[in-house]
Structure 1
Amino acid sequence: MNILHEDLGFSRMPQDVMHTAQTVNVVPKLLMEQQNVKSLDEALRNVPGITASVGEGEGGMSGDQFLIRGFQAQNDIYEDGLRDFGVYNRDSFDYDHVSVIKGPSSEVFGNGTTGGAINNVTKTPHLGNSYGGQFSGGSGQYYRGTLDVNQQIGESTAIRIVGMGNENNVVGRDNIYSHRWGIAPSIAFGLGKPTTLTIEYFHQTDNRIPDYGVPLLTKPGTSIARPATEFGVNRNNWYGTNYDQDASNVDMLTAHLKHQLNSNISFYDDLREGMYERYFSASQAGCNATCNTEYFTDPAAALIDRRGHLGGPEPYQQNDWSVQNVFSTIAKFNTGSVKHQIIAGWDVEHIYDRRTNYAYNFNGVTTKADTTSLVNPSHVQPGLLLGGLGDYSSNLVNISGVGNALYKTGSATDVGAFFSDQVWFTPWFSATAGFRWDNWNSHYSANGGAVAQGVSYGQNQGTFNPTVHLMYTPNDNVMVYFNWSQSTTPMGLYVTNSSEPLKSSTQGFKPERSSLYEIGTKYNAFHGRMGFTVSAFRLEKGNALQTDPSTGDVTSSSDRQRNQGFELSASGEILKNWNVIATYAYYDATTIASLTAANVGKRIQYAPKNSATFWTTYSIAPATPWNLTFGGGLTWRNGVWLDAANTERVPSMVEWDAMISHSFLKHWKVAMNGYNLSNRLNYSSLFSDRVTPSVGRSFLFNISASY
């Protein structure tokens, strides 16, 4: 489990974690297997400083919405170094391991990456044959099967097929389920040769019920709003209707070409096309002042408004496609006694998003009234009818600057070029200087419905993002580094993840600009069995944009925010058969300047002051018929603020998990996992005025075979 040995999974960052001058957290394959990880969200619970969120604005974009160090990373999810633009919940069946590169990394990834980037390394063909499969079942009517087959064909060709089928409810939440399946076939040519071509196809179908959790309440006599479940509301309560649905189909075709010209020069070309289809409708419970007061005086009278937010549960059909091509070259050479490694190339991507909006009719009139009991909700709403395309156009979502539109279309094209040179002045000291230039051209239009003539906005922005690293490496097991890097997030970046990428009031906003200053040390100990890291950082973001959760309006473009702190990690084998992976992060995250004077000095929302993860296992007699592996761990996070004014707060999270397994007949294994063993009321997905309770105490049995 020593994560310092892991690679990052793509050519633009060719070093392993040990020799990467930045904080990198890895969720290794062994850890995912021991925890029986089933989604990207579950994998990232092993990384401190990452919180999950549900989307802001119209329709409340669900799917995987993560924040890193308190900053949005909704467009910073990658697979093998290429962006995954889709808005969906990612299953982990095709993941070998997951890497999180903390802090601005625009020189490598392009626009975005204020808090960092998430890169999922997929399972690809390899030489030799391997066959595996597993089945899991347990609490919450959980049933899951996976298959992984690799077959070598000839001297240097192999195919691999990975598949998954999954059905589950959610322990501790009413009416929530997910039914999904996926398949990922791939073929590789030229394995072990100078030229290698790998072609991968990925498909995932998911039909689930979105969960937007419970609203916040403010107890009379207090000033801090907290989740309703902290005041006695049943954690199982779900405030949706029979129309709520999140159905997605994802298809991605990827090609990776590598050509090693000689020992000093290599060329890479990575190409991906993605197609994403999604039908989405989610009720978003809102408890206004009347609802809040009634709950504490007459709970049975308290009514929540299921359309208490921009968009309510009005559904939409989303159809996206994207294409990205990254060409890069790595060249190694000497100028006299000075050694160089140059990484250079270009990156071209285009993304297109098309949404068709629908609306409801309620009791024969177009009204937004849709209430249910806060204490005893019902998902049946008599008289609520879903209209066809254009039937109730006057009841469509009204967005400031856009209006009630049937069709909303966003698109963007990015052309980028990058260059970096790592120079070894001595065998133990090197420096890297690099930059990336991007031209981001984005467009957004809305028409139909109550929009008389339609609206259309566009902007073209050029960005330049530099980076500098200094690295002291006295030997192969020690690195001390300094990192300065910048990133840019222009308006209109989140084409697929935002309800209105551009509006008349925002298209002239300057892009968000972030700078990272970081020093750290990485150390391989005990002959490489253990890896230790420590880093201290300051992350500053200017021109921060604030989104109003009720209207979707972006109201500020001048806030300055700062997150500074330190992170620690230890991973590997302490003693023979005893593995551990542990992380800790401390964040001092503050708004240091704002147009809203009252927000100055307040903590950044979603950024915990302290967070930590711990997982350890011990194997008894691993090579004998009576072998046994057991272990467990802890996930902990301080309470966080949910708004910039620090008037809404979610409590701390503490979750204890455990596992036990036994191998038999050389190739078979049985295992049992327990999650949230204390059945504590924790909260997972966070929003500015509501939160989603986490899974309650649950158990999964697993049987697997590997040949």
Structure 2
Amino acid sequence: MKQNRVRHPIHPIAAAIALLCCATAGAQQTDAMPTVTVSAAPVQEGLGLARENATASRLNLSAQDMPASVESLSTAAMQARGDLQVKDAVTRSTGLTDISSPGNGIAYSARGFSGNNAIAMLENGQRLLVGSGTATYPSDPWGYDYIEVLRGPGSVVYGSGSTGATINAVRKAPQRAASFEAMAGIGGGKALRAGAGGTGAIGGKGAFRLDAYADRSDGFVDRGEARHGKLLTSLAYALTPDLDLDAQLDHAEQKPQRYFGTPLVNGRLAGQLRNENYNVGDADIEYVDDKAVARLTWRVSPALTVSNELAYMKARRNWRNAEYYVYNPAANVVERSDYIAIQHRQEQTANRLEARWNAGANRLVTGWEAATINFQHTNNSPYGGSSTVAPTGFHPGVFDSPDPLRPNFATDTATNAFYIEDAYSLSESLLLLAGARHDRYEVDRVSLQGAAGFSATLASNSARLGLTWKLAPHTSLYGQFSSGSDPLTSLLSLNLANARYKLTRSRQAEGGVKQSLANGKAEWTAALYRIRKDDIITRDPSNPAQSIQGGSQTSQGAEFSAAVSLASAWRIDANLAYTDAQFDRLLEGGNVSRAGKRPPDVPATSANLWLAYKADAWRAGAGARYVGKRFIDNGNTQALPAYTVIDAALGWNLNRHVLVQLNLRNLADRLYASTSYSDSQYLLGDRRHAELTVQWRY
């Protein structure tokens, strides 16, 4: 029965489509209503302090008023810098480091915490819960208006799994004024890409938007072919003067690069192996994501708004690869093992009922979120198979494992969350923000191989209290205390060993300053923070063979961001993050203490710099991205070296509709590791390359 629900998830999407169709039909029978105008926020450069931020708060406070570290990345800035993937843009923000791999899809590190159980990724405020540590979208910025980043615990807004940061890609909204945009590109690594998007009116009461995108490349390694495509659709319709319908229906397919890293030679990166791919010849990775959303918004009165949002999301993922490589110097060969085949089938139906009150000095929002998630995991555990190939000039062979691919387990997870958030203007210069949230997760797991199943219930409470003090209209000091929680492992793939554990607890204290000068021509922010996370897994000191929840980790640091117009044509964007993270209490096998060690994937320092020029028909820019040394293990015995990558872009407006741009990446052709896949292999960053794009806007 569980398998059928996982494989045939038609009822939730049918309900969403039925709601859309019925509402539209009802609207057609209604008398003519006033024209609906759906407008996007004006394009902003810099840090976006004046923009309303829907990620850090459900009250749409501006970044200037929000007592937290938030940042906004506009489409204009992403295009000017030539950021063709979401992770390229996100890692230009303050303190975010890319740790993506074919195993976890898309993943980041922030404020001392790493991975998809600590960094939440959303699209338009919708979050697909993480299955087996994997997240697969949003991957490219086409069709998005801007990307918002909230650093630190965001559990009051989006539940557990957001201690490090929350990243939200906000879609371009439907507009009644007709417009069209397109892009085509060609570049190194046999890259080809194209995108198109358009918006316009529906009758006298609605608007639509369509965005389509596709790309392909060889990934700069042998047999590294990758491709990606998506279709995004949006609708906004006024059913009555006080009742609006918004809907989305999306589909995305990805065939990521089937590359799991390059083996180290004598403990170092080897330039002669830079182009080699040690995966098998018939390797496969595929992600397919579908989403349907329908939201009704009722303006009950000028002060009260009630909305209900129904969402259905489905993910199908497939891996078949040889994933572990070790260079044997004595025989001068590469030994391959871990022939792993895995499939995920995940569907999530979620509903959010919310009421907002905005009157006078007080703004209040309260809501109830409920979701059901079906997840099925199929694999060929224990992942047998091995082979040996020469370092270069080898035949890749085929996937050959003695272990059959079989359904392993299925889980049904029910979630319920209640939240309340209040922003109260104590005076013209003081804003108090308070919020609380309760999450409850009920997980039922059934083995599909005859083992015993189990049920588990997990719960968490989180809260936030912050104060913003405006020293002047565009200068703010803020402080906040917030709490959150993270799962020890993916809730959807919870096993019996972890079912007895509760969610980890995190607490943050943060203070900072935000300032906008010269009518927004200069913006800067600075923040100091300290986060403590308890109940991580450690060994029992009295019984080293037993694991308990007694470990703890702290992270403290400083962040600085600035965006300044140096002159009429010049602009500089810069940020710097310093992170002092360590385990305070952690025992591993043999009661070995890791106290004082830095957690894996956490650089002590990261920084970004971008200098831009724009005048008449020309625009140009150049910048550097620095990521400090990161350890790959809890014992800090092995580290990824620090690296600096220099990029540049040059654009020419052929006319007011057409822009031609040359993007240059890794100008120094730096050989560097973006992340590790094991202690014997690292994933390499792209080599030096160029890409030419043409953009049309009408």
Q: CA contact under 8 A between 2:82 and 2:649: conserved in structure 1? A: no
Counterpart CA distance in 2 for 1:49 and 1:459 is: 35
TM-score, with length taken from structure 1? 0.85
1:275 aligns with 2:314: yes
How far off its partner does 1:538 sit?
0.4
Report what 2:19 is aligned to.
none
1:506 aligns with 2:502: no
How far off its partner does 1:605 sit?
1.3
1:372 aligns with 2:363: no
Tell me the alpha carbon deviations over residues 151-172 of structure 1, each in whole angstroms, 9 at most, x when there is no partner.
123333111110012111113x
How far off its partner does 1:195 sit?
3.5
- The one of 451, 456, 461 aligned to 2:458: 461
Q: CA contact under 8 A between 1:512 and 1:541: conserved in structure 2? A: yes
Counterpart CA distance in 1 for 2:571 and 2:244 is: 35
Identify if the C-alpha distance between structure 1 residues 95 and 556 changes in structure 2 by more than 3 Å, giving closer, same or farther.
farther
Report what 2:141 is aligned to.
92
Counterpart CA distance in 1 for 2:395 and 2:446 is: 34
- The one of 341, 351, 367 aligned to 1:325: 351
For this pair of structures, how many residues does the alignment match?
A: 636
How far off its partner does 1:206 sit?
1.6
Give the secondary structure class of the aligned counterpart of 1:41: helix
Q: CA contact under 8 A between 2:528 and 2:558: conserved in structure 1? A: yes
Report what 2:14 is aligned to.
none
Give the secondary structure class of the aligned counterpart of 1:455: coil
Q: CA contact under 8 A between 1:38 and 1:91: conserved in structure 2? A: yes
Report what 1:634 is aligned to.
624
1:472 aligns with 2:516: no
Q: CA contact under 8 A between 1:536 and 1:567: conserved in structure 2? A: yes
How far off its partner does 1:546 sit?
7.5
Counterpart CA distance in 2 for 1:302 and 1:198 is: 58
1:352 aligns with 2:374: yes
Counterpart CA distance in 1 for 2:550 and 2:114 is: 17
Q: Which moved more, 1:275-284 or 1:412-421?
A: 275-284
Report what 2:696 is aligned to.
705
Residue identity opposite 2:178 in structure 1: N
Give the secondary structure class of the aligned counterpart of 1:505: helix
Residue identity opposite 2:697 in structure 1: S
Report what 2:83 is aligned to.
37
1:648 aligns with 2:693: no
Residue identity opposite 2:339 in structure 1: P
Identify if the C-alpha distance between structure 1 residues 646 and 377 changes in structure 2 by more than 3 Å, giving closer, same or farther.
farther
Q: CA contact under 8 A between 1:54 and 1:686: conserved in structure 2? A: no
Q: CA contact under 8 A between 1:238 and 1:377: conserved in structure 2? A: no
Aligned identity (percent) is 21
Report what 1:203 is aligned to.
251
Counterpart CA distance in 1 for 2:629 and 2:550 is: 27
Counterpart CA distance in 2 for 1:284 and 1:406 is: 21
Report what 2:107 is aligned to.
65
How far off its partner does 1:511 sit?
1.6
How far off its partner does 1:177 sit?
1.9
Report what 1:222 is aligned to.
none
- The one of 261, 277, 280 aligned to 1:238: 277
How far off its partner does 1:377 sit?
6.9
Counterpart CA distance in 2 for 1:576 and 1:604 is: 44
Give the secondary structure class of the aligned counterpart of 2:448: strand
Identify if the C-alpha distance between structure 1 residues 475 and 192 changes in structure 2 by more than 3 Å, giving closer, same or farther.
farther
Q: CA RMSD in A?
A: 2.6
Counterpart CA distance in 2 for 1:92 and 1:556 is: 42
Report what 1:694 is aligned to.
685
How far off its partner does 1:203 sit?
0.9
Tell me the alpha carbon deviations over residues 491-540 of structure 1, each in whole angstroms, 9 at most, x when there is no partner.
56442xxxxx3233221123211111100111111112222100000011
Tell me the alpha carbon deviations over residues 428-477 of structure 1, each in whole angstroms, 9 at most, x when there is no partner.
123222210111112333332xxxx3232321022111111011123331
Counterparts of 1:74-89 in structure 2, within 5 Å, are 74-75=116-117, 76-85=120-129, 87-88=135-136
Counterpart CA distance in 2 for 1:141 and 1:192 is: 51
Q: CA contact under 8 A between 1:46 and 1:613: conserved in structure 2? A: yes
Identify if the C-alpha distance between structure 1 residues 20 and 367 changes in structure 2 by more than 3 Å, giving closer, same or farther.
closer
Report what 2:670 is aligned to.
680
How far off its partner does 1:368 sit?
2.8
Tell me the alpha carbon deviations over residues 63-119 of structure 1, each in whole angstroms, 9 at most, x when there is no partner.
112222232341511111110347325232222111111111111111110101111
Counterparts of 1:553-572 in structure 2, within 5 Å, are 557-571=549-563
Q: CA contact under 8 A between 1:47 and 1:613: conserved in structure 2? A: yes
Identify if the C-alpha distance between structure 1 residues 61 and 559 changes in structure 2 by more than 3 Å, giving closer, same or farther.
same
- The one of 185, 189, 193 aligned to 2:237: 189
Identify if the C-alpha distance between structure 1 residues 154 and 519 changes in structure 2 by more than 3 Å, giving closer, same or farther.
same
TM-score, with length taken from structure 2? 0.86
Residue identity opposite 1:42 in structure 2: D
Q: CA contact under 8 A between 1:52 and 1:686: conserved in structure 2? A: no
Q: CA contact under 8 A between 2:339 and 2:386: conserved in structure 1? A: no
Report what 1:602 is aligned to.
597
Q: Which runs of 5+ in 2 are unaligned?
A: 1-44, 540-544
Give the secondary structure class of the aligned counterpart of 1:43: helix
Give the secondary structure class of the aligned counterpart of 1:111: coil
Residue identity opposite 1:369 in structure 2: S
Give the secondary structure class of the aligned counterpart of 1:4: coil
Identify if the C-alpha distance between structure 1 residues 255 and 511 changes in structure 2 by more than 3 Å, giving closer, same or farther.
same
